[in-house]
Amino acid sequence: MPQPSTASTSQSLPAGRLALQNGLVFHGFAFGAIGKGLAVSGEVVFNTAMSGYQESLTDPSYTGQILVQTFPLIGNTGANPEDVESRKVQVSGFVIRELARVHSNFRADRSLHEYLAQAGVLGIGGIDTRALTKDLRSTGSMQGVVTDRVDLSDEQLVEMARKAPSMAGRNLVPLVGCSSRQTWSETLGEWATEHKPQAGRLKVLTLDCGAKSNILRNLADRGCDLLVVPHDTPASEIMRMYRAGEIDGLFISNGPGDPAEVKATIETLRTLLSGEPAAVMPTFGICLGHQLLALAVGAKTFKLKFGHRGINQPVLNTTNGRVEITSQNHGFAVDPDSLRAVGGEPTHTHLNDGTLAGFRLKDKPVFCVQYHPEASPGPHDASYLFDQFVDSMRSRRSAAR
């Protein structure tokens, strides 16, 4: 039976505000971590997905951001311990139109209000998210502040937003990536589609820049044993492991912040990719991993006006002419001209704005995509990319015998 939410009506919750650096202030009600004296800043971004708000809340790529959901009703399925993409809620704040009065899902163990309260994250509801999203599309993503404090004026909140650091120039990976080596063996379980791993386990080294759990589950589901290591692991150690047969391939994960500032990982990848083709291990990158690989080969990245965040983003696979509907969450992109100039070959294009969505190196077993083939949430059109990575590792292993 549906359980009444502790946030059954907005009237029972205190006032809350979202202030933007351009001077706009949106008034609504606060939920989640109310009464804690919070006034939290972050880059205000929007996600157009109709489902999967819990996965978005726990996606490390949202670190340092205030997330706006464009779908008008949020919280109807509550929260549960399974639909998480990391160890905690990662967003700085959460902005919605309407908070569901009741939640109903057989796996739910608490309401969204309770979930954010326990996480110490403030949510703001009762906001005209359509007007807010239109402003973000016109002006671009900007800094904002969410609060339920009554001692701060609108003018003070706007000034706080203007003083908050921009996402450009920030390296946030150390805040979300692991600090020591870890193993991963959890698979997709009941959510798996039909996968039949071939005989013999593959060993994948994952550079953790803020990896979503479902990415790792997809690799494990395909017969991979994962060793997850810090993003600044030196190239010399990775090459030693590869030459010793301790790993079969390298995966670079998603993550937050400005890719150009993750200098340690860029330098590691530059060294790993500089060898002769036969010496370069099979390598796969997703989202931030895609951007870091591009920077490592000498391409450039740039900040998008308002980014791509949603689960219905169309992408053209230029190698076969097929269109994929994809899940995306990123605010930076790779400049395709700079990539071609250094020998990279574009393989995928975002059909809404023509931005680069994937590339490969012509003479080395290296490829990557800007979007999320693990699709949590979202469609599974691009899950074949995990199979391509596995095939590349098996091919290289067979050739070495």
- Among the listed residues 287, 290, 324, 368, the single catalytic one is 287
Concerning whether 374 is annotated as a catalytic residue, the answer is yes
Sign, CA dihedral 289-293-298-304, equals negative
Catalytic residue from among 43, 55, 85, 374: 374
Phi, psi of 336 (to 5 degrees): -65, -35
**How far is the C-alpha of 130 from the C-alpha of 367, rounded, in Å?**
37
Which residues have a Cβ under 8 Å from the Cβ of 67 and sit 6 or more positions away? 45, 46, 47, 56, 57, 91, 93, 94, 95
What are the catalytic residues? Answer: 287, 372, 374
